[in-house]
Amino acid sequence: MSLRTLRKRVLILLCLCSILIGGCEFRDIDLRLFIVAMGVDVVEDRPEMLRYTFKIAVPTGDPKSGELKSIIIQQDSSSVARAVREIKSKVDKELDFAHCRVLLLGEAYARKGIRDVEEWIIRRRDTQLIMYPAVAVPDARTILNISPATERIAGNAKALALSEEGTESPYIAKTYLFDVDRRVRESGIDPYMPVITVDNKEEGVLNINKTALMDKERVKLMLEPEESKLLNVLMIRNLLTDLGTTMNGSRYEMNVDRSRARFKIVVPEPGKEEIQYKLTIGGNLEEKEDYDQLTHSELKELEKAFNESLSQEVTKLLEKIRETGTDPLGFGLRYFATHWNNNTEKQQWEAMYPHITFKVEVDTQIKGTGYSR
């Protein structure tokens, strides 16, 4: 090998090494700040701007020490992408969104339209699509500033509640950001989100017991706690919850451990469309106001009372949802699948849904009256 050829090969090798080194953007963990939650609010006196709030966990040496270190940084900007770049000028380390599990949308912003932030998160490479979105009342910054006393890792309490990894409540309408995006883009089904509010009776306590129903852009209605629970009964099979009814002036509560909801859309003739729901409920009697033992005939009578009250409550809820024009249960998607006709199916459903009726049939089976020691 001549000296000239050797020089050429060494030069090529050096060029390749410089390319590889230039493409590496690795940063050590101690050079990163981890964003664990972010919030979006409107700016009242500047309608063209949004207020972005980021809760940033500062890594500590020993996670078992119980020491919480986090900071909250706020930035008003015309876009979330610009806000992130502007916040970078306020910190000394690289912002990392890989651990951001909570997205809080202030009520005013959620009623205005969520697509801008939702699109940014879906497109950005380092954000998680399994992020837990929620509507924050009164606003996202207020909720982010609250750290419950039970929180052991900075910003983790809200993620544990929204994901149901920590608590498991029938009032929480758990959802993921990828599912919200799917429902936004899909015809015949609309997104929903849980609602986080401040508990006015207990300081430093958050309450997640309402559900926000949305069209493709914004919040249309917030369901009350009992309505949110019933919606979860319709959406989640074998939901662990409680249901109550009244018989002969006494209140009875049942611990539900088995539930299933099915529906079909019946179109006998134009103008008489109907959604027939069949709800199966099973469980044990957990609480009653009087202390007398129930006979078999009284137990059957109680099951009938549960059937009637649940049927009325579910029908009332479905009619309330229908009046908003939203479709969180995917009735439209079911209609498209069972009445396939690409030319007219969407128009038929849009004309049908505002006046469609509901027929709810409930079958309650009380397996036992519970232990009486």
Q: Is residue 141 part of a domain?
A: yes
* DSSP at 353: G
Q: Are 188 and 45 members of one domain?
A: yes
Of the candidates 209, 259, 201, the one whose C-alpha atom is nearest the C-alpha of residue 234 is 259
CA distance 142 to 145: 5
Q: Is residue 19 part of a domain?
A: no
Q: Are 230 and 348 members of one domain?
A: yes
Give the contacts of 315 (CB within 8 A, at least 6 positions apart). 358, 359, 360
Domain ranges, residue 78: 29-223
**pLDDT score, position 19:** 56
State how far Cα 186 lies from the chain centre: 17
Strands 192-198 and 132-137: parallel
Q: Are 292 and 204 members of one domain?
A: no
Dihedral angle sign, alpha carbons of residues 139, 140, 141, 142: positive
Per-residue pLDDT of the chain (373 residues; tens, 9 = 90+): 666 777 777 667 666 655 555 555 566 767 788 899 999 999 988 888 999 999 998 776 665 665 667 889 999 999 999 999 999 898 888 888 888 999 999 999 999 999 989 999 988 888 888 899 999 999 999 999 988 888 777 778 888 999 888 888 999 999 999 999 999 999 999 999 999 998 877 777 889 999 999 999 899 999 999 999 999 999 999 999 999 999 888 899 999 989 999 999 998 888 889 999 999 999 998 888 777 777 888 889 999 999 999 999 999 999 999 999 999 999 999 999 998 887 788 999 999 999 999 999 999 999 877 666 5
Tokens at 93, concatenated: 């380390």
Written as one letter, the residue type at 175 is T
**pLDDT score, position 133:** 95
Q: Are 66 and 194 members of one domain?
A: yes
CA dihedral 108, 112, 154, 180 (to 10 degrees): 140
Q: Are 179 and 319 members of one domain?
A: no
Q: Is residue 276 part of a domain?
A: yes
**pLDDT score, position 134:** 96
Report the chain's terminal Cα–Cα distance, integer Å: 96
Task: State residue 226 phi and psi, 5-degree precision.
Answer: -65, -35
Q: Are 169 and 236 members of one domain?
A: no
pTM: 0.85
Q: Is residue 24 part of a domain?
A: no
CA distance 48 to 44: 10
Q: Are 57 and 79 members of one domain?
A: yes
**pLDDT score, position 339:** 86
**Strand, helix or coil for residue 278:** strand
Note whether 361 and 279 are within 8 A (CB).
Answer: yes
**pLDDT score, position 193:** 96
CB-based burial of residue 105 (10 Å sphere; 0-12 exposed, 13-18 middle, 19+ buried)? buried
CA distance 164 to 57: 21
Number of domains making up the chain: 2
Last-in-domain residue among 197, 223, 249: 223
Q: Is residue 262 part of a domain?
A: yes
Last-in-domain residue among 223, 238, 271: 223
Q: Is residue 164 part of a domain?
A: yes
**pLDDT score, position 54:** 93
CA distance 79 to 119: 12
Q: Are 271 and 204 members of one domain?
A: no
DSSP codes joined into one string, 152-187: -STTHHHHHHHHTSS---TT-----HHHHHHHHHST
Q: Which residue has the tokens 């009256």?
A: 369
